[in-house]
């Protein structure tokens, strides 16, 4: 399968005492400019849609972020990735996904639509699968959230 608009996506997950951080690197492997839809790319470190599938041994982690109906995408809703170049965005998964308590092994995958602004249609972007054990990182995040309540 040819990557949509020749964009590939690499997902790296980094658990820490401040959350579980996902870094997405979008690479343009083509010889032309490739548009990337900001709302689904974690642009600015914000997760604005349910674009991650996070599973653990007894189920799936729920998305707790906002689901917002938006206007049709405009040109300024895209980042243009130059040919042969990449852009990366990092966001905290614990801000919008309800990780369960306890120690678990997680599998994470990014999957999102990438509308075309120059023609009709929508492409699908899908990353590799990243695996991590939460160990102490999510316990520290949970303790901080409880302390704020």
Return per-residue pLDDT of the chain as tens, 149 residues: 344 457 999 999 999 888 999 999 999 998 889 999 999 999 999 999 999 999 999 899 999 998 877 788 888 999 999 999 999 999 999 999 999 888 899 999 999 999 877 777 788 999 999 999 875 555 544 444 434 44
Q: What CATH code would you report for 4-148?
A: 2.60.40.2970
Which sign, positive or negative, has the C-alpha torsion 94, 104, 14, 4?
negative
Three-class DSSP labels, 12-37? EEEEECCEEEEEEEEEECCCCCEEEE
Q: How many CB atoms lie within 10 A of CB 104?
A: 18
> Model pTM?
0.85
Q: Which two tokens stand for residue 147?
A: 């302390």
């Amino acid at each position: 399968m040819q990557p949509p608009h020749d964009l590939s996506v690499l997902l790296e997950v980094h658990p820490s005492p401040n959350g579980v951080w996902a870094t997405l690197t979008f690479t343009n492997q083509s010889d032309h400019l490739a548009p990337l839809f900001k709302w689904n790319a974690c642009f600015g470190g914000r997760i604005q849609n349910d674009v991650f599938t996070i599973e653990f041994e007894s189920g799936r982690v729920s998305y707790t972020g906002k689901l917002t109906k938006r206007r049709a995408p405009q040109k300024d809703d895209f980042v243009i990735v130059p040919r042969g170049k990449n852009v990366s965005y990092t966001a905290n998964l614990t801000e919008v996904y309800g990780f369960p308590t306890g120690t678990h092994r997680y599998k994470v995958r990014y999957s999102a639509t990438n509308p075309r602004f120059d023609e009709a249609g929508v492409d699908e972007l899908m990353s590799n699968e990243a695996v991590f054990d939460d160990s102490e990182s999510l316990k520290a995040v949970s303790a901080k959230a409880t302390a704020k309540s």
